[in-house]
Structure 1
Amino acid sequence: MSIDPRHYHQPSWRKPVGMFAIVGLIAAWAIMVGSLSGLIGALPMWVQAPIYVVLGIIWIWILPLRRLLAWMETGRWR
């Protein structure tokens, strides 16, 4: 079985670099949350939940990862 050269795609170096960046962002988020846990933990539960949701969804997933994933696929940040 031979590989048709028209359909062969060389893997991009951006994907492994992007995966390491994602792991780094998650680690940075975990360190940040751990360091702020004393302050956030002193707040009432109904205040803590929105803080964690906003920090988790917006700060980690929507803002940096959307562009990072686009860069991994296309090579462009936008």
Structure 2
Amino acid sequence: MPIRLKKLIGTVLLVALVIVYAVVATIVAVAQLSQSGPLVHLLFFLFSGLLWVLPAMGIIKWLIIEPRPKS
């Protein structure tokens, strides 16, 4: 796969991940945390704000892997 195409795919995946993750985290927060106190909100948004990094790291790791040499 050409490196430019790989970087384009990775960029689109990262942007889509952030958008989808933010929407899902907001929906969960609105549906489940409406009656909770501020400490629960802080902990939820702290945890969910850091959790998106795990799938993003997988995408970035895929981006930096060198292509196999052609035999």
The alignment's TM-score, normalised by the length of structure 1, stands at 0.69
Question: Which has the higher mean CA deviation after the structures are superposed, 27-36 or 63-72?
Answer: 27-36
Aligned residue number for residue 28 of structure 1: 20
Where in structure 2 are the equivalents of 1:1-78 lying within 5 Å?
11-38=3-30, 39-58=32-51, 60-61=52-53, 63-74=54-65
Gaps of 5+ in 1: 1-9
Q: Given the superposition, is the C-alpha separation of residues 75 and 42 from structure 1 closer, same or farther in structure 2, using an over 3 Å criterion?
A: farther
Distance in 1 separating the partners of 2:34 and 2:7: 36
Q: Aligned-pair RMSD on alpha carbons?
A: 2.0
Q: Given the superposition, is the C-alpha separation of residues 75 and 13 from structure 1 closer, same or farther in structure 2, using an over 3 Å criterion?
A: farther
Distance in 2 separating the partners of 1:55 and 1:73: 26
Identity %: 15
Distance in 2 separating the partners of 1:56 and 1:26: 10
Q: Which has the larger radius of gyration?
A: 1
